C-alpha cells in the first residue's frame, strides 16, 4: 500500500558511514509513494556522492546555503515549506547537537530551523558517542521539542564495537515514516482485536497452549490505530509491548477472552479475531499440583477435555454483529479450509496463512497470507506482519466503504 502518496519528504543526510544507506532509503520511500528531495552536509559527501542521490531522487541535491545553482531551482526557505516531513538519516551526533542549539550554520540545520512540518531523525554513531551525556541531553531536549526519533538500533557497528548507535534498518525507517501520516481509513471506527494464545489450566502450574506469539494481532492493532481507529486489544499472554494509543485487556484462558469480548463488543464496528484460541480445555483444572507417582512402570494419565466457546462465531451470532474478520492458520488445504471457515462462522473476511511454512506464520516476523471474502480471493506477498496488517486494514476499509455506500 502506498501511504506516502503525494507526500514530500526532505531527506537530510549527514556525515557517517551509514550515509550510504540513504540511497536505499530514497528508493523505499519512493516505493511508498513519496517524492524525495535530498540535502546533504559536506561531510556526508565524503561517504556517498551527491550524483548518486541526485540520480535516485531525480532532483538536484542541495549542499550549501549559498549555492546559487540549487537556490535557483528551489531556495532553502521554499524547500522547507515544500516538505511534509524533514527526515534526517543518518543523523550524526554533531548534527543533533546543532539542531538542539538551534544553529543555522549549514543548509540542513537552517532548513530545520525554517521548517514548520514535523522533523524526524534516525541517529547513527559509535555506541560511546550515543551514550555520551552530551548526546543524550541533546536528544532529550529535542524529544521535548517534538523531534521524532527513529532508533538507533543495537548491534555490531562499522567501528567493530557492539552497542546502541546503529542506523535503524531502512524498512523500519519507512514504516515509522508512514506512521507519521495516518491514512484516516478507519477514522470514527472502533475496532476490537483478539491476539495471542490462550492458556487452559491443567493444574495451578501447568497449562495447554500453542505457539502463537501475538505479533500479527499486535501489528494489526498498530495499523488500525494509525488508520485513525479506536482500538481495543483483548490479548492472551504474550511478550510484546502494547502499541501506543491501543487499550488492552489482558486475559489468560479462552473463557476469560470470551467474557472480555462479549462485555465490550456492542461498542465495536469491526471485530478481528487473530487470537489462536485453544479449541479445548481440561473439563476441570486440578486444585492442587498433580503429583508424580514413582512407580516402576511409566504411568499413563488421561486428561478429559471439553470444547471452548467459539468466540468469533458467538460474535457473528449477535443480533447486529460488527464487520467480522477471522484468521485461519492451516498446515494443508489452506484455501479450501479457510473458505469453509468463512461460511461456517459467518465472517465477512478471512485471512488464511500457512503455518506449515516456517518462513511465515506463528512465531515469525513475516507473514504470507491470502484474504478471502465471499466473492474475492486476494493473495498478499510475503511481507512483515506490519506491512501485511496495513494491507488487511486497507481491504477492510474498502469493503466497509462499499457496504456503507450500498446501504
Binding residues: 279, 289, 309-312, 327, 341, 345
Q: Footprint of ligand C5P on residues 182-211 (CB under 6 A)? A: 194
Number of residues that bind ligand C5P (CB under 6 A): 14
User: In the bound complex, what is the minimum distance in angstroms from residue 183's beta carbon to ligand C5P?
Assistant: 24
| Cis peptide upstream of residue 81 (ω within 30 degrees of 0) | no
Cell numbers placing 114? 525554517
Active site amino acids = 159
Looking at residues 232 to 291 of the shown chain, list those that interact with ligand C5P (rule: CB under 6 A).
254, 273-275, 277
Q: For residues 181 and 327, which CB has a smaller minimum distance to ligand C5P in the complex?
A: 327
Q: Cell digits for 245?
A: 494509543
Q: Does 394 bind ligand C5P (CB under 6 A)?
A: no
Residue closer to ligand C5P (CB basis): 218 or 327? 327
Say which residues have a Cβ less than 8 Å from residue 66's Cβ, sequence separation at least 6. none
Q: Least distance in Å: CB of 378 to ligand C5P?
A: 17
CB of 212 to ligand C5P, least distance (A): 9
Site for ligand C5P in 43-82 (CB under 6 A): none
Stretch that binds ligand C5P, among 9-17, 125-133, 135-143, 322-330 (CB under 6 A): 322-330
**Residue with Cβ nearer ligand C5P (95 or 327):** 327
Q: Which is nearer to ligand C5P, 91 or 312 (CB)?
A: 312
* Site stretch for ligand C5P (CB under 6 A), options 85-93, 116-124, 175-183, 326-334: 326-334
Q: Binding segment for ligand C5P among 33-41, 325-333, 359-367, 382-390 (CB under 6 A)? A: 325-333
Q: What are the start-end ranges of the E strands in 95-237?
A: 119-123, 148-149, 153-156, 162-166, 190-195, 200-203, 206-208, 230-235
Report the distance separating Cα 102 and Cα 146, nearest Å. 14
**What is the closest distance, in whole angstroms, from the C-beta atom of residue 307 to ligand C5P in the complex?**
8
Report the nearest approach of ligand C5P to the CB of residue 348 (Å): 12
Residue 143 DSSP SS3: helix
CA angle 322-209-256, nearest 5°?
45
For ligand C5P, which residue of 109, 110, 177, 308 counts as binding (CB under 6 A)? 308
Q: Is residue 326 within the footprint of ligand C5P (CB under 6 A)?
A: yes
Q: Which residue in the set 11, 180, 231, 311 belongs to the binding site for ligand C5P (CB under 6 A)?
A: 311
Q: How far apart are CA 205 and CA 183, in angstroms?
A: 45
Known binding-site positions for CTP: 279, 289, 309-312, 327, 341, 345
Q: What is the DSSP pairing of strand 206-208 with strand 200-203?
A: antiparallel
Min dist CB 322 to ligand C5P, Å, is 13
The per-residue DSSP string of 363-407 comes to TSSEE-EEEEESS-EEE--SEEHHHHHHHHHHHHHHHHHHHHHT-
Of residues 21 through 50, those in contact with ligand C5P by CB under 6 A are: none
* Count of residues in the chain: 407
- Residues 327-366 binding ligand C5P (CB under 6 A) are 327-328, 341
CA distances from 119 to 5, 110, 162 (A): 19, 13, 28
Binding of ligand C5P by 212 (CB under 6 A): no
> Is the Cβ of residue 170 or residue 328 nearer to ligand C5P in the bound state?
328
Query: Under a CB-based contact definition with an 8 Å cutoff, are residues 277 and 198 in contact?
Result: yes
Strands (E) across 133-290 are located at 148-149, 153-156, 162-166, 190-195, 200-203, 206-208, 230-235, 246-250, 270-273, 280-282
Could you give the CA distance from residue 61 to residue 11 in angstroms, rounded to a whole number? 10
Binding pattern for the stretch 152-171 against ligand C5P, x by CB under 6 A and - elsewhere? --------------------
Pure H helices in 32-169: 50-57, 68-73, 76-82, 93-101, 107-114, 127-131, 133-144
Closest CB to ligand C5P among 40 and 191?
Answer: 191
In the complex, the smallest distance separating the C-beta of residue 233 from ligand C5P, rounded to whole angstroms, is: 13
Nearer to ligand C5P, 60 or 346 (CB): 346
Contact status, residue 269 vs residue 322, Cβ threshold 8 Å: yes
Site for ligand C5P in 90-109 (CB under 6 A): none
> What are the φ and ψ backbone dihedral angles of 185, each rounded to 5 degrees?
-65, -30
Residues that bind ligand C5P (CB under 6 A): 194, 254, 273-275, 277, 308, 310-312, 326-328, 341
Amino acid at each position: 500500500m502506498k501511504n506516502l502518496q503525494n507526500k514530500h519528504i526532505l531527506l537530510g543526510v549527514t556525515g557517517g558511514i551509514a550515509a550510504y544507506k540513504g540511497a536505499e532509503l530514497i528508493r523505499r520511500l519512493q516505493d511508498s509513494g513519496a517524492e524525495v528531495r535530498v540535502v546533504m552536509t559536506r561531510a556526508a559527501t565524503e561517504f556517498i556522492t551527491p550524483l548518486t542521490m541526485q540520480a535516485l531522487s531525480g532532483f538536484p541535491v542541495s549542499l550549501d546555503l549559498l549555492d546559487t545553482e540549487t537556490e535557483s531551482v528551489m531556495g532553502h526557505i521554499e524547500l522547507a515549506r515544500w516538505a511534509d516531513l524533514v527526515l534526517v538519516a543518518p543523523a550524526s551526533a554533531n548534527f543533533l547537537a546543532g539542531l538542539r542549539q538551534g544553529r543555522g550554520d549549514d543548509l540542513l540545520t537552517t532548513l530545520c530551523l525554517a521548517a514548520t512540518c514535523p522533523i524526524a531523525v534516525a541517529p547513527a554513531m559509535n555506541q560511546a558517542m550515543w551514550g555520551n551525556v552530551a548526546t543524550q541531553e541533546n536528544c532529550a531536549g529535542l524529544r521535548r521539542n517534538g523531534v521524532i526519533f527513529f532508533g538507533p538500533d543495537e548491534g555490531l557497528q562499522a567501528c567493530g564495537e557492539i552497542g546502541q548507535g546503529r542506523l535503524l534498518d531502512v524498512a523500519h525507517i519507512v514504516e515509522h515514516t508512514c506512521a507519521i501520516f495516518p491514512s484516516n481509513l478507519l477514522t470514527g471506527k472502533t475496532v476490537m482485536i483478539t491476539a495471542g494464545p490462550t492458556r487452559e489450566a491443567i493444574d495451578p502450574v501447568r497449562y495447554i497452549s500453542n505457539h502463537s506469539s501475538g505479533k500479527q494481532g499486535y501489528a494489526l492493532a498498530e495499523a488500525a490505530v494509525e488508520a485513525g481507529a479506536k482500538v481495543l486489544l483483548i490479548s492472551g499472554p504474550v511478550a510484546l509491548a502494547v502499541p501506543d494509543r491501543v487499550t488492552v485487556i489482558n486475559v489468560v484462558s479462552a473463557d476469560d477472552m470470551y467474557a472480555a469480548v462479549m462485555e465490550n463488543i456492542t461498542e465495536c464496528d469491526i471485530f478481528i479475531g487473530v487470537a489462536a484460541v485453544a479449541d479445548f480445555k481440561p473439563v476441570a483444572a486440578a486444585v492442587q499440583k498433580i503429583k508424580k507417582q514413582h512407580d516402576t512402570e511409566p504411568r499413563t494419565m488421561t486428561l478429559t477435555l471439553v470444547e471452548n466457546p467459539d468466540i468469533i462465531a458467538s460474535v457473528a451470532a449477535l443480533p447486529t454483529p460488527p464487520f467480522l474478520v477471522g484468521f485461519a492458520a492451516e498446515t494443508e488445504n489452506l484455501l479450501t479450509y479457510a473458505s469453509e471457515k468463512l461460511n461456517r462462522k459467518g465472517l465477512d473476511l478471512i485471512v488464511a496463512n500457512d503455518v506449515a511454512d516456517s518462513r511465515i506464520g506463528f512465531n515469525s516476523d513475516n507473514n504470507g497470507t491470502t484474504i478471502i471474502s465471499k466473492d474475492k480471493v486476494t493473495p498478499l506477498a510475503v511481507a512483515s506482519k506490519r506491512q501485511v496488517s496495513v494491507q488487511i486494514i486497507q481491504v477492510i476499509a474498502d469493503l466497509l466503504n462499499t457496504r456503507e455506500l450500498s446501504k
